[in-house]
Structure 1
Amino acid sequence: MDVTRDGSSGPRVVLVGPPGSGKSTVAHALGERWQLGVRDTDADVERTAGKPIAEIFVDDGEPHFRALEHDAVRRALVEHDGVLALGGGAVLHADTQEALARYRELGGVVVFLDVSLAHAAPRVGFNQSRPLLLGNPRARWQALMEARRPVYEQVASVRVLTDGLRPSDVAAQVEEALAALRVADGAASREDEG
């Protein structure tokens, strides 16, 4: 069982960000580097529902998907001790925001993988499996990002820009950010003691 920075159990790190930021790929790169398990809440939702996310949206609607998604995040924050990647819209649920705040209060780290539209477009491919991007996918992605950016920034401990980077490079930047947080935590602890 891995522990958060202060010793409590939970994921080693949680990755959030928009479609195309590389959450799943970077999660696997970190899992390999750290020899930890990787969990993706989108995969959890599909397993629970027994169908792809696009079908959940069509058959059951976005509110049903968001409820399944929140439940998947809540369970993963308790059950998983490796690298956790959240679906792009998971942070929009108020209860998920509260769960991530509690996780951070316990010493957990949430990394916002940021990406520009120019770099997200080739990664996402703007295909039919992303129901929120139907219609004009570039304009929809831009609108989603404008709406979600403040929430990603609010829930995150750190931000890592993924533009033009390979997953292994992003993983290295995440490691650097975690090391900087440990140093900052140590300095803050010494100030509190003094």
Structure 2
Amino acid sequence: MSTGDGRGLTLTAPARHGQSGADVSGRGAVQTSAVRKVLDRDRVARLTAALGTRSIVLVGIMGCGKSSVGRRLAQAIDLPFVDADTEIEAAANQTISEIFAQHGEAYFRAGEQRVIARLLKSGPQVLATGGGAFMNAETREEVRKAGISVWLRAELQVVMQRVRRRGTRPLLQDPDPEGVLRRLLEEREPVYALADLAVWSRDVPHETVMNDIVAALEGHLGLPPAQD
């Protein structure tokens, strides 16, 4: 359920925590055996102990793989996976496209900020945020206090190819979606660069990018590198 206060969404539905890293959306289950080959139990234990109560917060432009890679990462390190956009839709009982169409982007961003602040109180978890969420200074501060932010970097043509497959991104409902995406990258990349870590998302198996994130986290947390 949602109510409007004139400043943005008041999202009151409870967060659906306890989700595993498995793909609960029905768009293709994570291959657990393949993921498990990447990380052994001791490595997972060291990483999660070093994280403590902090969340791993994935940021970056739409189509960079925050949800698909995030699910696999959560599965591999035995943490819940939470998609902020999914939580917003569940709380508002509307799709993000409907929220944009009926209330506008500013209204959506206000609700997004509130939802992410709420979710960060429930760590540790792997939290995938929307493409514009990290642009909010208050959200960045909440993430800094409660998590480790990871920017999934991606080239324009890579993300454009990915978002074309879905065609449901509200900000790309424009005669020149590639031009819009290019502008968004130019505006947002300097802010994404404020994240604690940056990992390239590219056209390789999701597990490869996931393993890159784990290695970056281990370095950030001062853990020994994995042995080949």
The alignment's TM-score, normalised by the length of structure 2, stands at 0.73
Q: Is the 8 A contact 1:10 1:79 kept in 2?
A: no
Matches within 5 A, 1:28-107: 28-103=71-146
- Deviation of 1:56 after TM superposition, in Å, equals 0.2
Deviating beyond 4 angstroms after TM superposition, the runs of 4 or more aligned structure 1 residues are: 1-4
Q: Which string of whole-angstrom CA distances, capped at 9 and with x for unpartnered residues, describes residues 28-63 of structure 1? A: 010111122100100011111111101100001111
Among 163, 179, 183, the residue aligned to 1:139: 179
Which stretches in structure 1 are left out of the alignment for 5+ residues?
187-194
For 2:178, the aligned partner's letter is R
Shift of 1:74: 0.3
- The match for 2:35 is none
RMSD: 2.1
Among candidates 197, 219, 228, match of residue 158 of structure 1: 197
Higher relative contact order (CA 8 A, sep 6+): 1
Match of 1:190 in 2: none
Does 2:143 correspond to 1:112? Answer: no
Q: Which amino acid aligns with 1:160?
A: V
- Measure how far apart 1:3 and its partner are: 6.3
Query: Are the counterparts in 1 of residues 54 and 148 from structure 2 also a CA contact under 8 Å?
Result: no
1 or 2, which has the higher helix percentage?
1
Contact 1:42/1:87 (<8 A) preserved? yes
Q: Contact 2:109–2:133 (CA<8 Å) still a contact in 1?
A: yes
Q: Does 1:130 align with 2:169?
A: yes
Q: Say yes or no: does 1:121 pair with 2:155.
A: no
Secondary structure at the aligned position of 2:88 is classed as: helix
Q: Which ranges of structure 2 fall in alignment gaps of 5 or more residues?
A: 1-17, 19-46
Asked if structure 1 preserves the Cα contact closer than 8 Å seen for 2:48 and 2:77, the reply is no
Contact map agreement 1:19 1:120 (CA 8 A) in 2: yes
1:64 deviates by 1.1
Supply the distance in 1 between the matched residues of 2:116 and 2:54 (Cα, whole angstroms). 12
The alignment-based identity, stated in percent, is 34
Q: Secondary structure at the match of 1:79?
A: coil
